[in-house]
Structure 1
Amino acid sequence: MAPWALLSPGVLVRTGHTVLTWGITLVLFLHDTGEPGTPDPLRQWEEQGELLLPLTFLFLVLGSLLLYLAVSLMDPGYTPQPPPVLPNSTPCPQQPLRARHCRDCRRCVRRYDHHCPWMENCVGERNHPLFVAYLALQLAVLLWGLHLAWSGLHFFQPWGVWLRSSGLLFATFLLLFLFSLVVGLLLASHLYLVASNTTTWEFISSHRIAYLRQRPGNPFDHGLTRNLAHFFCGWPLRSWDILRAEEVEEGGSSQDI
């Protein structure tokens, strides 16, 4: 591996996420988040031999980190690489329905949802279910951490004393609150999209996509139960080839403009 590959955006982003995750976890474990002079609940449970909750919290943190790495490193659903094309031709001349060319990854992704800069990877057909699972687990960890951080903020202390004893914990609380808000909104939006069997790209740019702009509704929506079963369990739905045939008859194209 070339030395500069270690400084690629993907490596830097994933390293930053890992360091931030364990850094916040250490603050929550080591800071006094109970009454002044007493250990925080996690360490208190550990000292009393009650290891279930501290270990559960650690396993949730580790699980969320492993899911993050899985989503960010796995193939999101790349289409086979086409042969070299001319400079002015389309990047994916035989692009499957619901696929889109990602300029950041320089590949076409099946059932393209979006390119996530925090993952430094696309979210597509293969990793979208894991992405939703990651958001759900990450939100649970963040909310638990937010509760632990809030329990240690004793505002009745003098300002100088409070800043020295709780400044780091307060900064951690603000980070956790911000991350909880962002992840919660992302999870809610993706659950809505999954429930209607659509993607972020299709939802935002339906007026630009040929197979959607000529239709009054979402042709992929088969009802809540079937959409969820298809997304999480892979249950078959109506073949997209039928929609492709209808599109060809209408003289359309699956390429977005």
Structure 2
Amino acid sequence: MLSWVQKRGTSEHRTGLETPLQGPKQRCWFVWDPMGIIFAIATWALVLSGAWVLVRDLLIPSNNVFYAIANGVVFHLLASLALVSHLRTMLTDPGSVPLGNPPGPDTVSYCPFCLCAIPERVYHCTVCRRCIRKNDHHCPWVNNCVGEDNQKYFLLFTLYVGLMSTHVLLLLAIPVLRSHARGEWNASSTVSLPGPIFFLFLVALMGFIFALVMLCSQMCSIYKDKTTTEMLHQNKHSQGRQSMWANIKAICGPRVSLAWLSPFHSPDRYKVSERHVMA
């Protein structure tokens, strides 16, 4: 079957045809994976419960109106941006190749599951059950693959989770450090956290570690223009763009603006010839 695809692609190349990757857009993209749905719900539950504990057990008891309002606004702004980014990542088609996609000159393989010809840097996801362009990995926390068309939203999700978690950790750590600086601690002092505050600390710490690991992984992927899948399989045949700046523009949009930080803004798509650079 693969040999048939390659021969067919050669004949189409002579007539100037290209692999038609732009199939009809689906009205709604959602992966029906029970484990992924549970993880996605857990993400929202952790953020919302953390927000409730923060306001009820940390900000309101401070008896400082300005402190409570300022930190409450900052936290809920970051949390809202994180949750919107999570929704956009989960409900955006990551770059699926249309089922039954016909072969073309850039066809390099054939997927027996999707029954479609696929170009370079396309990988099949067994959870989504589709071939995804520049499939970095399947993330259960967003119940979706991170691919060419939703990587920006995943980056923003990890960014805002990291900022939100850092903000909470600072709110918890600064009073402790101030107390230590005033000499209120000695060798016999013990630290006892109330249950809700300890829960908030664990949630913030988990969010910080998750964001740190995923952001480092994504920035390494952008720097090398290699997906996590390609790096794990040591794929040396996929050559990317010439600079990291071009790689970032390919994900966030061709023009530098504040829209890069907005999960509500959909970046302009590059042309096929720019997105799929042949080795």
Q: Does the TM-score normalized on the shorter chain lie above 0.5?
A: yes
**Could you give the per-residue CA deviations for residues 95-150 of structure 1, whole angstroms, max 9, x where no partner exists?**
12211110011111111110001111111011011111211111111100111123
Q: Is residue 2:212 matched to residue 1:191?
A: no
Which has the higher relative contact order, 1 or 2, with Cα contacts under 8 A spaced 6 or more apart?
2
Q: Is residue 2:110 matched to residue 1:96?
A: no
> Which residue of structure 1 lines up, in the alignment, with residue 135 of structure 2?
112
> Which residue of structure 1 lines up, in the alignment, with residue 54 of structure 2?
28
Q: Residues 50 and 90 (structure 1 numbering): CA distance in 2 closer, same or farther, change over 3 Å?
A: closer
> Which residue of structure 2 lines up, in the alignment, with residue 58 of structure 1?
76
Deviation at 1:52, TM superposition (A): 4.1
> Which residue of structure 2 lines up, in the alignment, with residue 254 of structure 1?
none
Deviation at 1:74, TM superposition (A): 1.6
Quick check: 1:198–1:221 contact (8 Å CA) kept in 2? no
Q: Residues 231 and 242 (structure 1 numbering): CA distance in 2 closer, same or farther, change over 3 Å?
A: closer
Deviation at 1:77, TM superposition (A): 1.0
1:129 to 129, 152, 162: 152
Where do 5+ consecutive residues of structure 1 fail to align? Answer: 84-88, 247-257
Quick check: 2:46–2:203 contact (8 Å CA) kept in 1? no
TM-score, normalization by structure 2: 0.66
CA distance, structure 2, for counterparts of residue 195 and residue 237 of structure 1: 21
Structure 2 matches for 1:9-48, cutoff 5 A?
9-32=35-58, 39-40=61-62, 44=64, 47-48=65-66
CA distance, structure 1, for counterparts of residue 98 and residue 243 of structure 2: 31
Deviation at 1:82, TM superposition (A): 2.1
Letter in 2 for 1:127: N
Deviation at 1:237, TM superposition (A): 9.0
> Which residue of structure 1 lines up, in the alignment, with residue 233 of structure 2?
205
Give SS of 1:82's match.
coil
Q: Aligned residues, how many? A: 216
- Report the RMSD for the aligned CA atoms in angstroms: 3.2
Deviation at 1:229, TM superposition (A): 2.1
Letter in 1 for 2:162: L
CA distance, structure 1, for counterparts of residue 130 and residue 272 of structure 2: 26
CA distance, structure 2, for counterparts of residue 49 and residue 206 of structure 1: 50
Quick check: 1:150–1:173 contact (8 Å CA) kept in 2? no
Quick check: 2:128–2:144 contact (8 Å CA) kept in 1? yes
**Could you give the per-residue CA deviations for residues 157-208 of structure 1, whole angstroms, max 9, x where no partner exists?**
976xx64x6233123213322321221121012112112222111111124x
> Which residue of structure 2 lines up, in the alignment, with residue 253 of structure 1?
none
Q: Residues 174 and 8 (structure 1 numbering): CA distance in 2 closer, same or farther, change over 3 Å?
A: closer
CA distance, structure 1, for counterparts of residue 35 and residue 277 of structure 2: 40
> Which residue of structure 1 lines up, in the alignment, with residue 9 of structure 2?
none
Deviation at 1:59, TM superposition (A): 1.4
CA distance, structure 1, for counterparts of residue 272 and residue 118 of structure 2: 20
Percent identical residues: 23
CA distance, structure 2, for counterparts of residue 140 and residue 120 of structure 1: 22
Q: Is residue 2:173 matched to residue 1:141?
A: no
Quick check: 1:149–1:172 contact (8 Å CA) kept in 2? no
Quick check: 1:60–1:137 contact (8 Å CA) kept in 2? yes
